[in-house]
């Protein structure tokens, strides 16, 4: 029972990281019908940017709450800027091109970001400092929860509730939902589709940046090609929840995190990825639209 509860906590932590990243995928897919392959590498990039800013602070004074907030904000802004640049350079010129051209462009952009990371920070593993957050942890009858985990769970929950409210209650959120349903009709209703797409990239990249920072703080080891792995997992989470659906991405992320934790806790860590993909393929066969995805009839 202890193992189960411990893996439940770990799974929820990993799951909220997946969910933060998956939101970026699902929002872009919802509006542009494009798998943004570069998003995973953007997440890796943000971990590196965060690390660099952290080490800059680290030399002068100890990390205080204010500093950490500043680091998070700075990283989010830098990554959002790169995300918007990505959309401008790699995706906007291809909006009317064949679907596959956009996919290749996304793959190309992913390679560019991944190798830019390698050229800037070098091919070796970088290590995040251990004491970003206080290393306190609590023990509830054998189940250990660390301070970092609490922060990750709490902040992810706040961000997700915030995003959900933003999408459902504000005017821009309504415009985003309208654009996702029908771009042309949205244009006719006076929605500036270009601006909506930029907004999506800003929000997606910022959430991804926070996810990436947490991945860095939680796992500590950074490699330039880690973006693929987290990106793919997050994308699978988005599909499990129902791609294009924002609550779906949150649910999918949490479920995939739990699934991963249970597999590595009870079955094997060597085959973890294989099980993830088997789960994906089973879901694709049984329910291709995901758990919360709406079944839409194919237009003829």
Partner 1 sequence: MNKTTSIATLFIVVMAVFPFLVDSAWLSIGITFLVFAVVAFSQDIILGRAGIFNMGHAIFFGMGAYTTAILNVHFGFEIIATIPFAIIVPVIFSILLAGPIIHLRGDYLLVATIGFNIIFEQVLKNNVFGVTGGPNGIFGIDVVRVFGYELWSDTAIYYMAFGLLLITFLIIRNLDTSKYGRALYYINKNEIAAKSMGINISYYKLFAFALGAAIAGAAGCVFAIQYSAVSPESFNFMQSVMFFAIVLVGGSASLPGIIIGTFVMFVLPELFTEFKESRYLIFGAAMVLTMILRPNGVWPATFGNIPTFLKKKAAKLKGSK
- 1 close to 217: Cβ distance less than 8 angstroms: no
- Per DSSP, helices labelled H in 63-192 are 65-86, 99-121, 147-169, 171-181, 183-188
Taking residues 5 to 44 in sequence order and writing x for each that binds partner 1 by CB under 8 A, - otherwise, the string is ------------------------x---x-x---------
Residue 84 interacts with partner 1 (CB under 8 A): yes or no = no
For residues 113-132, which are near partner 1 according to CB under 8 A? 113-116, 118-119
Burial code (b: 16+ CB inside 10 Å, e: under 16) for 154-174 equals: eebeebbeebeeebeeeeebe
Give the nearest distance from C-beta 35 to partner 1 in angstroms. 6
- Of 69, 70, 73, 104, the one binding partner 1 by CB under 8 A: 104
Proportion of the chain in helix, strand, coil states, percent, rounded to 5: 75, 5, 20
Query: Which DSSP string corresponds to 87-99?
Result: IIIIIGGGTTS-H
- Residue 169 interacting with partner 1 (CB under 8 A): no
- Residues 198 and 300: their CA atoms lie apart, in Å, by 30
Q: Is 100 in the site for partner 1 (CB under 8 A)?
A: yes
Judge contact between 291 and 247, C-beta under 8 A. Answer: no
| For helices 38-60 and 226-241, angle between their N-to-C axes, nearest 10 degrees | 120
- The whole-angstrom separation of Cα 9 and Cα 16 is 11
Among residues 101, 137, 194, 269, the one that binds partner 1 under rule CB under 8 A: 101
Which position among 62, 65, 98, 169 is part of the footprint of partner 1 (CB under 8 A)? 98
User: Residue 48 interacts with partner 1 (CB under 8 A)?
Assistant: no
249 binds partner 1 (CB under 8 A): no
Tell whether residue 108 is a contact of partner 1 (CB under 8 A). Answer: yes
**110 is a contact residue toward partner 1 (CB under 8 A):** yes
Pick the piece of the chain touching partner 1 (CB under 8 A) from 104-112, 132-140, 194-202, 254-262: 104-112
Q: By CB under 8 A, how many residues form the interface with partner 1?
A: 46
Backbone angles phi, psi at 62, to 5 degrees: -65, 155
Q: Which of 5, 155, 284, 291 binds partner 1 (CB under 8 A)?
A: 284
Which structure tokens are listed for 61? 């004074």
Residue 90 sits in the site that holds partner 1 (CB under 8 A): yes
162 binds partner 1 (CB under 8 A): no
User: Which residues of the chain form contacts with partner 1 (CB under 8 A)?
Assistant: 29, 33, 35, 89-90, 93-94, 97-105, 107-116, 118-119, 228, 232, 235-236, 239, 270-271, 273-274, 277-278, 280-281, 284-285, 288, 298, 300
């Amino acid at each position: 029972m202890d193992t189960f509860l411990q893996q439940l906590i770990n799974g929820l932590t990993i799951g909220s990281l997946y969910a933060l990243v998956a939101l970026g995928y699902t929002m872009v897919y919802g509006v542009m019908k494009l798998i943004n392959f570069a998003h995973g590498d953007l997440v890796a990039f943000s971990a590196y940017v965060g690390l660099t800013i952290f080490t800059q602070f680290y030399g002068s004074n100890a990390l205080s709450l204010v500093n950490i907030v500043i680091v998070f904000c700075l990283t989010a802004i830098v990554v959002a800027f790169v995300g918007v640049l990505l959309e401008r350079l790699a995706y906007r010129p291809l909006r009317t091109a064949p679907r596959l051209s956009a996919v290749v462009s996304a793959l190309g952009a992913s390679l560019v970001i991944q190798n830019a990371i390698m050229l800037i920070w070098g091919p070796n593993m970088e290590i995040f400092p251990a004491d970003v957050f206080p290393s306190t942890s609590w023990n509830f009858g054998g189940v250990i929860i660390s301070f970092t985990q609490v922060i990750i769970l709490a902040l992810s929950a706040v961000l997700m509730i915030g995003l959900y409210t933003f999408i459902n209650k504000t005017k821009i959120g309504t415009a985003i939902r309208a654009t996702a349903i029908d771009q042309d009709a949205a244009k006719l209703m006076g929605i500036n589709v270009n601006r909506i797409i930029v907004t999506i990239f800003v929000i997606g990249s910022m959430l991804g940046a926070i996810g990436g920072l947490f991945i860095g703080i939680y796992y500590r080891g950074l490699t330039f090609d880690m973006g693929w792995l987290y990106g793919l997992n997050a994308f699978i989470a988005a599909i499990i929840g129902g791609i294009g659906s924002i609550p779906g991405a949150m649910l999918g992320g949490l479920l995939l995190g739990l699934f991963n934790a249970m597999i590595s806790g009870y079955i094997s860590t060597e085959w973890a990825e294989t099980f993830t993909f088997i789960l994906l393929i089973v879901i694709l066969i049984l329910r291709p639209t995901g758990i919360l995805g709406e079944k839409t009839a194919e237009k003829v």
